[in-house]
A and B are shown apart, each in its own frame.
Chain A
Amino acid sequence: MTILAVVMLTIGVWSQRLLGAFVVGPLLERRPTLTRAAGLIPAAVVMAVIVSLTITRGGDLVFDERIVGLVAAAFFVWRKAPFIVVVAVAAVTTSLLRVLL
């Protein structure tokens, strides 16, 4: 991680929290469609990060045990399991498959 990245990400994250709270929030109040759209952004972009982290490695597409780990975790998310359980299931499934296969 470069110093530029540390600085720019800090500015970006801090300012989005403050802008959201004190600028965008009041603006959105009387615009229901925009509010709904804003609420959906995390679902779309975080899912994209999940996909990227699951199927790439060092710039290449790599389909491996991580996918199974994520599917197992997804089942527990759907069953509303505690966060720590979801994370443990992903790690254990993935590493077990690597040991066994």
Chain B
Amino acid sequence: MTSTTKQPASSPRLSLIDFVTMAVTFFALGVTLQVLLIEAGTSSTRAFVASVVIFSATSEFAYLAVRNGGGSDWAAIVAGWVVATRFGILAVSLVPRLPKGLPLRVLAALNAFDPNVAMAVQQENPKAVEREFWRTTSAMMIGWFLGIAVGTLLGNVIGDTSRIGLDAVFPAALLAIIGNILRSRDGFVAGVAGGLICLGLLPIAPAGLPIILSVFGVGVALLVGRLVPSQTRLP
């Protein structure tokens, strides 16, 4: 770090404690995901390979949610794609702020997750964006890969995951991930509408469809945004 530019107080840096917290968080996420994948009948090897290559716990969970609900393979895959739009959107906000250079930009785009993009986009210049992005990414990846390794080993041992409340962990984790979007009025309306669409369709529609059709919650939010002037922000 030979940068002579002063870091304004407004650009957060990843402290050692943040680094460890981030790693521990992704460790927990990785363990949970593997245990639940294996409990759902996936072999240990395939569960490990899946989490290494797919690189999106959210998509794997959307897939599982549909399959466990009796949906077809393709319905589950489409649900996994739909939730992965989040990563495309994260990449949209990250990549233009990075230094020029295609290979590193591609690599960064493929690693776009919520915490590292959130940390990166708050930096002042491209160099700082790149540095904080990769520092946060390395913390996440250390935790994630250790977590899926340990989770794969534990998957066959733990047995009944519901006793220790693991089945409640992923919905809660997802809620924390989209917490910031839900704080804006439009985000809140979109979330509530998406949730209600899913809730209404779950008893009647084939598994997978409720998640896919929940995307129309966005339309509801835009409509409400047009009818009611957007001044209000939630606490």
Least CB distance, B136 to chain A, in whole angstroms: 13
A1 touches B47 (CB 8 A): yes
Within 8 A of B (CB), among A26-77: 28, 33, 36-59, 61, 65-66, 69-70, 73-74, 77
Report which of A2, A24, A45, A58 forms a contact with B82, defined as CB distance below 8 A. A45
Least CB distance, A67 to chain B, in whole angstroms: 9
B132 within 8 A of A: no
Q: A9-B81, A41-B89 are in contact. Are A47 and B112 (CB under 8 A)?
A: no
Identity of the chain B residue whose Cβ is nearest the Cβ of A85 in the assembled complex = B176
A4 touches B73 (CB 8 A): yes
B85 within 8 A of A: yes
B187 within 8 A of A: yes
Q: A16-B84, A45-B194, A47-B195 are in contact. Are A6 and B168 (CB under 8 A)?
A: no
Majority secondary structure, B binding face: helix
Interface residues contributed by chain B, number (CB under 8 Å): 100
A43 touches B181 (CB 8 A): yes
B80 touches A33 (CB 8 A): no
Stretch of B4-12, B144-152, B206-214 that contacts chain A: B206-214
A42 to B203, CA, bound (A): 23
A1 to B47, CA, bound (A): 8
Least CB distance, B30 to chain A, in whole angstroms: 12
Can you list 23 pairs linking A and B with CB atoms under 8 Å apart?
A6-B46, A8-B81, A9-B56, A12-B59, A13-B59, A13-B81, A18-B109, A18-B110, A25-B96, A39-B187, A41-B218, A42-B83, A44-B190, A44-B193, A44-B214, A45-B214, A46-B178, A47-B178, A48-B210, A73-B175, A90-B168, A91-B166, A93-B168
Other A-B pairs beyond A20-B89, A49-B61, 4, CB < 8 Å: A1-B63, A47-B194, A51-B198, A55-B202
